[in-house]
């Protein structure tokens, strides 16, 4: 099992089916908060939906196309972070993440993203990492900005979010630019 210890309080662990109850519970607790920026909340209404999501994550990991981890804060699952897509021919990956509402403002996601980036460049030997965030999602955009990513531009109407489109800002980091 993949576990990446970040510090005394924080670790990333490959998501497993046995995590479904906690991930679903956390989703429910943060549903209205997460719904502002994540398009999958309305289709995640029962435990089975989270189990199916995790099965898909595990299939992606087995096929070497993605890697989804749960974020452990003092041993408790508080969100997810991972490589939504890994493109081996171009040596690129896209990072995606979400954090339960009650765990915001502790630096958890910045540390988790930094750990994923270190892993991508140092272990997987990738060349580029992208993070995309809705242009108005200021909290999500702060993560790549804090980590020194380059704002590479805006994709207009990149995502349908329940009843409207949102633009995405694309951030990029090259292996040669990463300071860790």
Strand-strand pairing, 128-134 and 92-99: parallel
Whether 147 is in a domain gets the answer: no
Contact 135, 169 (CB under 8 A): yes
For the chain, the domain total comes to 1
Within a domain: 114: yes
- Domain of residue 64: give its range: 3-127
Query: Residue 164: CB partners within 8 Å, gap ≥ 6?
Result: none
What pLDDT does residue 149 have? 98
Question: What mean pLDDT comes out for the span 38-43?
Answer: 93
- End-to-end alpha carbon distance in the chain: 24
Whether residue 180 is contained in a domain is answered as: no
Average of per-residue pLDDT across 82-100: 98
- 139-163: per-residue pLDDT in tens? 999 999 999 999 999 999 999 999 9
3-state helix, strand, coil in the chain (%, to 5): 40, 35, 25
- The count of residues in the chain is 180
Closest residue by Cα to residue 68 from 77, 76, 42: 77
- Write the CATH number for 29: 3.40.630.30
* Per-residue pLDDT reduced to its tens digit, 92-114: 999 999 999 999 999 999 999 99
């Amino acid at each position: 099992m993949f576990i990446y210890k970040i510090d005394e309080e924080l670790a990333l662990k490959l998501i497993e089916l046995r995590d479904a109850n906690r991930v679903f519970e956390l989703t429910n607790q943060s549903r209205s908060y997460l719904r502002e920026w994540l398009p999958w909340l309305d289709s995640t209404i029962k435990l089975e939906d989270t189990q199916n999501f995790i099965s898909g994550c595990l299939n992606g990991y087995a096929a070497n196309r993605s890697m989804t981890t749960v974020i452990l804060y003092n041993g408790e699952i508080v969100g997810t972070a991972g490589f939504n897509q890994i493109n081996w021919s171009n040596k690129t990956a896209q990072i995606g993440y979400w954090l339960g509402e009650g765990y915001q403002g502790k630096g958890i996601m910045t540390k988790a993203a930094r750990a994923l980036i270190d892993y991508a460049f140092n272990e997987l030997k990738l060349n580029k990492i992208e993070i995309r965030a809705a242009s108005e999602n200021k909290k999500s955009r702060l993560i790549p900005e804090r980590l020194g990513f380059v704002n590479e531009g805006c994709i207009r109407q990149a995502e349908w979010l329940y009843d409207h489109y949102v633009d995405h800002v694309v951030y990029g980091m090259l292996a040669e630019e990463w300071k860790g």
